[in-house]
A and B are shown apart, each in its own frame.
Chain A
Amino acid sequence: MQSTHAIKVENLVKHFGKGDALVEVIDGADFHIDKGELVALIAPSGAGKTTLLMMIGCVEEPTSGKIWLGDEPVYDDKWLTKEQRKIRREKIGFIFQAPYLIPFLNIIENVTLVPQTNGVPKEKAEEEAMALLKYFDIAEKAREMPALLSGGQNQRAAIARALANKPQIILADEPTAALDITRSVNVVKMLKKIAVDQDVAVIMVTHDEAMLPLCDRILKIEDKKVVSQPVPENTKMI
């Protein structure tokens, strides 16, 4: 029977440095995130949000612990495969603070880059990309260069790129940091819709408490541990 957990983490530890210079960032994190869930990851600056995101994203190697992406164990005190980049390419979508589209590729090329690298034929990749661009209401901009699009259109194109490889997980690093409240709410609502529609788990790093009511759950880093919290009742109504 398949697990509904998109991400599962057990006793995850991350230290930087050695001896007197040892810094413990995460010390025994245990949590899971299910498909269809939008989870906010919150913590004070420097508490390890990005480090945790990078460990889940197979970018930063943990010190110890276990990580599963879907049913596949990817880390068990060491990487279980040498091809973390392949895992990222096939299972994970990334959304950043800024769109960070490749400036010399047009929108549809940006969206189809990873699927084509995964071996999807160009025509099929473009067909699927167009469907995503239609979903985000920027299909008419498919052949435009990113420099010619507005910030909001680029951000939607970046989200389309994150979904193009049909990921199990989306890691969003402060996607609303540079946006005003209205646009921020729109982006988070869009992420929630994606989580449900595409059946993916979304982890969103945020400092913006106003976005928390739109999430399903909160993961908070406290004293080097990761604590799962429900969205506070008093903010649910915001």
Chain B
Amino acid sequence: MINLAQKDIAHTLGKFIVTSMGVGMLLGIVLIMIGVYRGMIIDAKVLLDDLNIDMWVVQENTLGPFAEASRIHEDMRNTIKVIQGVDKAEGLTFQNLQLPSKEGEVRVFAVGFDPFGKIDPINPKRLIQGRGLQRSHYEMVVTDKTGFHLGDQVPIGRDVYSVVGITHGTVSSGGDPLVYVSLKDAQELQFLYSNARTRNDRARGIKALNSHMINAVVATVKKGYNVNRVAEDIRQWKHKSVYTATQEKTLLTKNLIKMASKQIGMFTVILVVVSTIIIALIIYTMTLEKIKEISIMKLIGLPNRMIVKMIMQETLLMGILAFVFANLFAHLIYSKFPKRVVLEMPDAWILFLVVILASILASFVGVRKVIHADPASAIGG
């Protein structure tokens, strides 16, 4: 039996492939969008995974330090350290900075920590050049995406910092590149006011503000202790909000990037719908171009199922080809995006199923045209 779809496609192969490539590029954008979402989820967890701690202690009644602002006194880490069940505790600060570079301003997310403390947020596996922080002042470790190199001198605030280490793949939950500075430097940058401001405050009767503040205390729990029990003790007796590592991840992934994921989800759905409509329009146009031949085929007695099969096979093949081109296109360009894009096989397979479903839906417009084509129109020129 002659396969009409195969013959028709072979007859207009170039046009069919170019059309599939066009749809494929659109579907490629869908894959990239999903990849951006996956990247956001991974980015949100990088810092948390690198810290590898059990608890986050933050300002009471806040969802700090990422979802909401949190300020607590630095000495709270000492208080936490002595609570039964706590193994290690350190203070951390977090703040966005704009660093001057040769290419212009670089927006970064700075993590301040005690280089001599027991919890180091710099994952040695991510350190690709140089070393970690070894001094209390004027050293910084940057991620490679900032564009800085080892030994670069970077002016921040009133001081100049030396780049002593380069990491790879370290970003904040917002996708900004991470830089690491000492806790003392970070506190000065975040909490120390200028002399003019200090004089102005004094004139207003405001006492000098304490710059020994931090945004959160992170802690690990000794073996054999229940992290939830220890967290509950801190909540009850120290009047702080405490989140376990799992809760903090949830705060980041479910709450902080919820809106962003909804936004991306909307774009993805719209792109899939647009792709379906485009496939449907292409199939409709292809069917219209063949309507005289379809009328003749019906007139000479070909059953509807043969003609419908041709339309459906062509639509499905277009969908499959578009999916292949989408993957090629997405894999070709995903690394060019400034933020992390993660292309995962399960997402690709889900898109494949959606494309097949969309192709079947799209073929209905062509099939409808076939069913309503009048064989009598073949007679009479």
Q: Which residues of A contact B (CB under 8 A)?
A: 50, 53-54, 57, 59-60, 85-90, 92, 94, 96-98, 100, 102-105, 109, 112-114, 116-117, 122, 145, 161, 165, 173-174, 177
Asked whether, in the complex, the Cβ of A59 is within 8 Å of the Cβ of B7, the reply is no
Given A102-B293, A104-B11, do A85 and B380 touch, yes or no (CB 8 Å)? no
**Size of B's binding interface in residues, CB under 8 A:** 25
Chain B residues in 8 Å Cβ range of A96: 296, 378-379, 381
Asked whether, in the complex, the Cβ of A100 is within 8 Å of the Cβ of B296, the reply is yes
Q: How far is the CA of A134 from the CA of B10 in the complex (A)?
A: 27
- Closest chain-B Cβ to A21's Cβ sits at a distance in Å of 20
Asked whether, in the complex, the Cβ of A104 is within 8 Å of the Cβ of B301, the reply is no
Interface pairs A-B: 4 shortest CB-CB: A89-B301, A104-B11, A88-B301, A104-B8
Asked whether, in the complex, the Cβ of B293 is within 8 Å of the Cβ of A103, the reply is yes
Asked whether, in the complex, the Cβ of A117 is within 8 Å of the Cβ of B376, the reply is no
Chain A residues in 8 Å Cβ range of B296: 94, 96, 100, 102
Partner of B2, one of A50, A88, A105, A145: A105
Instruction: Decide yes or no whether B375 CB sits under 8 A from chain A.
Output: yes
Instruction: Decide yes or no whether B300 CB sits under 8 A from chain A.
Output: yes
Q: How far is the CA of A98 from the CA of B292 in the complex (A)?
A: 12
Asked whether, in the complex, the Cβ of B376 is within 8 Å of the Cβ of A113, the reply is no
Asked whether, in the complex, the Cβ of B300 is within 8 Å of the Cβ of A94, the reply is yes
Can you add 11 more A-B contacts, CB < 8 Å, to A100-B292, A103-B293, A113-B300? Answer: A50-B379, A53-B379, A85-B303, A88-B301, A89-B300, A97-B381, A100-B378, A102-B296, A105-B2, A145-B11, A173-B379
Asked whether, in the complex, the Cβ of A98 is within 8 Å of the Cβ of B381, the reply is yes
Report B39-65 CB contacts with A as 1/0, cut-off 8 Å. 000000000000000000000000000
Instruction: Decide yes or no whether B306 CB sits under 8 A from chain A.
Output: yes
Instruction: Decide yes or no whether B357 CB sits under 8 A from chain A.
Output: no
In the complex, 25 of the A-B residue pairs with CB atoms within 8 angstroms, ordered by the A residue number, are A50-B380, A54-B379, A57-B379, A59-B379, A60-B376, A85-B302, A85-B303, A88-B299, A94-B296, A94-B300, A94-B379, A96-B381, A97-B381, A98-B381, A100-B293, A103-B11, A104-B8, A104-B12, A113-B2, A113-B297, A114-B300, A116-B2, A117-B306, A173-B380, A174-B381
Q: How far is the CA of A98 from the CA of B375 in the complex (A)?
A: 15
- Closest chain-A Cβ to B304's Cβ sits at a distance in Å of 8
Asked whether, in the complex, the Cβ of B7 is within 8 Å of the Cβ of A94, the reply is no
- Closest chain-A Cβ to B326's Cβ sits at a distance in Å of 27
Chain B residues in 8 Å Cβ range of A117: 1, 301-303, 306
Report B342-381 CB contacts with A as 1/0, cut-off 8 Å. 0000000000000000000000000000000001101111
Q: How far is the CA of A32 from the CA of B376 in the complex (A)?
A: 23
Asked whether, in the complex, the Cβ of B7 is within 8 Å of the Cβ of A105, the reply is yes
Asked whether, in the complex, the Cβ of A86 is within 8 Å of the Cβ of B379, the reply is no
Q: Is the contact region of chain B dominated by helix, strand, or loop, or is it mixed?
A: helix
Q: How far is the CA of A97 from the CA of B292 in the complex (A)?
A: 13
Q: How far is the CA of A87 from the CA of B376 in the complex (A)?
A: 15
Q: Which residue of A lies closest to B292 (CB)?
A: A100
Chain B residues in 8 Å Cβ range of A122: 1
- Closest chain-A Cβ to B300's Cβ sits at a distance in Å of 6
Report B108-148 CB contacts with A as 1/0, cut-off 8 Å. 00000000000000000000000000000000000000000
Q: Which residue of B lies closest to A49 (CB)?
A: B380
Chain A residues in 8 Å Cβ range of B10: 104
Instruction: Decide yes or no whether B88 CB sits under 8 A from chain A.
Output: no
Instruction: Decide yes or no whether B298 CB sits under 8 A from chain A.
Output: yes
Asked whether, in the complex, the Cβ of B301 is within 8 Å of the Cβ of A90, the reply is yes
Q: Which residue of B lies closest to A50 (CB)?
A: B380
Report B2-27 CB contacts with A as 1/0, cut-off 8 Å. 10100110111000000000000000
Q: How far is the CA of A97 from the CA of B379 in the complex (A)?
A: 8
Residue with the highest number of chain B CB atoms closer than 10 Å, among A60, A104, A122, A177: A104
Q: How far is the CA of A105 from the CA of B293 in the complex (A)?
A: 11
Q: How far is the CA of A82 from the CA of B302 in the complex (A)?
A: 14
Chain A residues in 8 Å Cβ range of B11: 103-104, 145
Asked whether, in the complex, the Cβ of A113 is within 8 Å of the Cβ of B299, the reply is no
